[in-house]
Chain A
């Protein structure tokens, strides 16, 4: 199936101290989207609206073709959701939880669940309260993955995991994508994870989506240019400049609309291009947030 697994149109939610403002979001089936934002930016609210846990004041939300929150019950049969505030029963074992979930979801895949137990190095007889944070995250993920949901929604899945557990989780998420009918949306403030596995990236800040695009576009368009001005030369006007730094004769520009032709434009204007640096997603995110916030305060 092709099409959109998640579709937000003009979605708003107003709280006394926080507003989610006119969100538009499209997640094509078979892809991974990473939602990046600072703490309190609106990532979790967005995810809760998607899950029907919070009702939007305005706008339309469709998930796997179902209207949310109205059709959340049938939609949730096909959605796997893992978040930090989702509690498992401390005094029950992982095996008990597996049996419980299996009794609710007919698509539960027991052989896959057992494979995941081995891959995540989890023991089914162990009680949840005896598990470390990383083991708990992996247990919750196992319970969601073994249902083989068409859409996986993960709120900060890698936060607080050690490097080994993180790689195990990322590998398992990629394995899900081997099936092109399945889709993942995850939020993170770890931009490295998002940069590694996401196809689509959405930046969210202060309740607004400030950018949403495919990852290669992001990484291609953002560049840092280090220039050296010849005596008497002035900085040429370039498209998409979001930041100007450096010192007088050695300016540093950040642009979100880089084009290789810019190098010639600069050189002709007496601003020798010393280097054109690609930027990491983290640098792009931070530059993006800063430039938007500056515009807002002006």
Chain B
């Protein structure tokens, strides 16, 4: 089995974060539907050639975030929540909006100015796709 997950040594982020991010993406876009069985920690470690402890850490954090469920001795599955994909995108959006707010403050923009910038971006998006 091929996991399709890649670990980049050139990526400055820790390996467990790279694994978390790619699993989140797979779930968000629906490639890994709710209820799907994940490879076991050891299997994924062997496939990616990274240590067991790194994969274990990624799974623990995904579990803490409610994205996967791990049952002792049975392995892990994608949380059986049909809205999970949308939820992940929503979390992603919240993160980015948080960042936007930070940058806005740095530049001294008022909330109103910030909102109009976001509206402009959304309008451009709509035009491109119409």
Contacts and interface: CB of A to CB of B under 8 A. Distances in A.
Given A192-B9, A278-B12, A198 B49 contact: no
B45 A174 contact: yes
A197 B47 CA distance: 12
Interface residues of A, number: 21
Given A178-B42, A180-B42, A219-B14, A171 B49 contact: yes
Of the candidates A167, A192, A199, A216, the one having the most CB atoms from chain B within 10 angstroms of its own CB is A216
A296 B51 CA distance: 33
Interface stretch (B22-30, B52-60, B104-112): B52-60
Contacts of B57: 216
Nearest to A219: B14
Given A219-B14, A278-B12, A196 B51 contact: yes
Contacts of B13: 278
A197 B43 contact: no
Nearest to A277: B12
Contacts of A31: 52-53
A216 to B, nearest CB: 5
Interface residues of B, number: 17
A216 B49 contact: no
B16 interface: yes
A199 B53 contact: yes
B53 A215 contact: yes
Interface string A13-48: 000000000000000001110000000000000000
B46 A197 contact: no
A273 B90 CA distance: 29
Contacts of B49: 167, 170-171, 174, 196-197
B103 interface: no
A216 B55 CA distance: 10
Of the candidates B12, B13, B14, B52, the one having the most CB atoms from chain A within 10 angstroms of its own CB is B52
A192 B10 CA distance: 11
A216 B49 CA distance: 16
Given A174-B45, A199-B52, 9 more contacts: A30-B52, A32-B52, A174-B50, A196-B9, A196-B15, A215-B51, A215-B54, A216-B54, A219-B14
Interface of A: 30-32, 167, 170-171, 174-175, 177-178, 180, 192, 196-199, 214-216, 219, 278
